[in-house]
Structure 1
Amino acid sequence: MSELLRGKRIAVTRPRAQAARLAAWITEQGGEPVLCPLLEIAPAEEQAPLQAAIAQLDVYSLAVFISPNAVAFSVPVILAGRRWPEALQAVAIGQSTVDLLAAHGIENTLAPRERFDSEAVLELPELQAQRVAGKRALLLRGNGGRELLADTLRARGADVDLVSCYRRSAPADAGPLQALLHADELDALTVSSSEGLRNLVDLLDGPARARLRQTPLFVPHQRIAEVAAGLGLQGVILTGPADAGILAALIAYRWRQP
């Protein structure tokens, strides 16, 4: 086992179902991951829109999955009643989503290779106007979220249906994280969601927020870094994309000596 993160207590704030890989990697490097999900994930309260999309799945040319959660809360429902249409092209934002689709037997998914966000998906040659105009696209996502993908595909001539197949909500409290911050026993946090970061700041009391401002915060996207700066957090480290980028930044970081 490597000792590159030995003695470092690092909060992993992804939803619980997506936290295991990064937590395991931190452990392999000698660190101590602390699982503190800042988003709770559950099926959408209203299932009728998903069922309606499944009933007409053959009319779509593209099925765009916003996240692994979009796969987890839609594909099993789809495959319980029918086969995946051979002509339906799956599109994903990140590699974790591609891998989960493959685990369900959905291969040849389109996805960006370097940046994992809506902007990168929209740069794919297969999603340019000359390729999507006149086609129908199904966009599977959580409640709310950005409209960039849907709006841009529509501007390029596609007919886009949005279906929320899962919902995100804030946890009831951030007690374990708050206690660690109060005791100055947390070396760093990893945050992969702007919404989750806002949830954290809202849940903490004044002293914990003050400590958070000075605690290293590793984030894999510029948009999250901008939100963090707007919230007054001063220890923001922008990493490479996904869990691999976060881990590389954790290993390379010049940690404060005790």
Structure 2
Amino acid sequence: MVDQPLTGLGVAITRPSDQAKRLSRMIVEAGGQPHAFPLIEIAPLADYSTFDAQLNELDKYDWTIFISSNAVQNGIPRMLNLVGKPPATLRHAAIGPVTATELTSLGIAPVLTPQGRYDSESLLALPEMQQVKGKRFLIFRGVGGRELLAESLRSRGATVDFAECYRRINPQTSAEPLAQLWQQQQLDAVVVTSSEAMRHLLAMTNNAQQPWIRDVTLCVNHARIAELPLDLGLHVRIAEAPGDDAMLQCLNTVALLKQQRH
């Protein structure tokens, strides 16, 4: 008999639809019921003229930094089409191993990544990011986002520009579908893997005042994403690592606790 530790567990996944497919499949294989509820979708820019101009000036930079897989998927194919391979003198860094693997698969290597924790703070702690006075960095990201990386590098004497190559939109107008799933006893956990998605979720539940969100467990993949919901007294579990496998382990714990309660 196939082990199905998530039997009877309803899980909403708030990731962009195309990024939720593997985890959804793993949840089904483990006996759970995934519910797609993307709180972020990735959309192209209305105008790429600024981004294209930056690609044409790659040779003036010392480093590129890629914030996410989305930055790779929306930036590198366009770069390869427009200007070809980046200059050999250009060095590359990524926030985490998934992003680094995507870069490598598209011929961008080697890629510097932090070990253990995967965030701006960990990248900034690396030896290569210390003596950067006079260096020029180009950070590939979506429109908006955290400023910590750029601010810290600038404080160390670097010049930093943002290469914004996509935008994020919230496709949902209401959290009512999740409330209904909960009322039907089909929702036990919600997977949230970005601070932006968490902000959308809390805003759509009257700052977490709706009964259902105070009952379910929020499964996140970074302590920073957990800060707001923990402050609001919600049930939060933090996966031990990024990626779908660690998130599945996090959901296994939720399922185990549910079984113990019953």
Same-fold call, TM > 0.5? yes
Distance in 2 (alpha carbons) for counterparts of 1:59 and 1:207: 47
CA contact (8 A) 1:212 1:233 kept: no
Cα distance change on mapping 1:172 and 1:211 into 2, 3 Å = closer
Cα distance change on mapping 1:25 and 1:125 into 2, 3 Å = farther
1:208 shift after superposition: 8.5
- More displaced 10-residue stretch of structure 1: 20-29 or 185-194: 20-29
1:50 shift after superposition: 0.8
Distance in 2 (alpha carbons) for counterparts of 1:55 and 1:89: 16
Task: Report 1:168-179 matches (<5 A).
Answer: 168-173=168-173, 174-179=175-180
Q: Deviations over 1:203-255 (max 9, x none)?
A: 3479992111110111111111111123x342111221212332222223433
Q: Indicate the residue corresponding to 1:34 in structure 2.
A: 35
Task: Report 1:63-212 matches (<5 A).
Answer: 63-81=64-82, 82-128=84-130, 130=131, 132-173=132-173, 174-204=175-205, 209-212=210-213
CA contact (8 A) 1:14 1:36 kept: yes
Cα distance change on mapping 1:26 and 1:208 into 2, 3 Å = farther
1:70 shift after superposition: 0.7
> 2:222 aligned with 1:221, yes or no?
yes
Matching residue's letter, 1:116: Y
1:19 shift after superposition: 1.3
Any unmatched runs of 5+ in structure 1? none
1:184 shift after superposition: 2.9
**DSSP 3-state at the match of 1:11:** strand
Q: Indicate the residue corresponding to 2:241 in structure 1.
A: 241
Distance in 2 (alpha carbons) for counterparts of 1:90 and 1:176: 42
Distance in 2 (alpha carbons) for counterparts of 1:109 and 1:84: 13
Compute the TM-score of the two structures, normalised by the length of structure 1.
0.91
**DSSP 3-state at the match of 2:50:** helix
CA contact (8 A) 2:71 2:141 kept: yes
**DSSP 3-state at the match of 2:210:** helix
Any unmatched runs of 5+ in structure 2? none
**DSSP 3-state at the match of 2:8:** coil
Matching residue's letter, 2:194: S
Matching residue's letter, 1:48: S
Q: Indicate the residue corresponding to 1:62 in structure 2.
A: 63
Cα distance change on mapping 1:6 and 1:184 into 2, 3 Å = closer
Distance in 1 (alpha carbons) for counterparts of 2:26 and 2:94: 24
Q: Deviations over 1:86-130 (max 9, x none)?
A: 2211211112211211221112111112111110111111111x2
**DSSP 3-state at the match of 1:242:** coil
- More displaced 10-residue stretch of structure 1: 146-155 or 106-115: 106-115
CA contact (8 A) 1:214 1:233 kept: no
Matching residue's letter, 2:21: A
Matching residue's letter, 2:253: A
Cα distance change on mapping 1:206 and 1:217 into 2, 3 Å = closer
TM-align CA RMSD = 2.0
Count residues in correspondence.
255
Distance in 2 (alpha carbons) for counterparts of 1:121 and 1:217: 26
Q: Deviations over 1:148-195 (max 9, x none)?
A: 000111111111111221111212334532321232310111111121
Cα distance change on mapping 1:247 and 1:171 into 2, 3 Å = same
**DSSP 3-state at the match of 1:24:** helix
**DSSP 3-state at the match of 2:167:** strand
> 2:8 aligned with 1:4, yes or no?
no
Distance in 1 (alpha carbons) for counterparts of 2:219 and 2:183: 20
Identical counterparts, % of pairs: 41
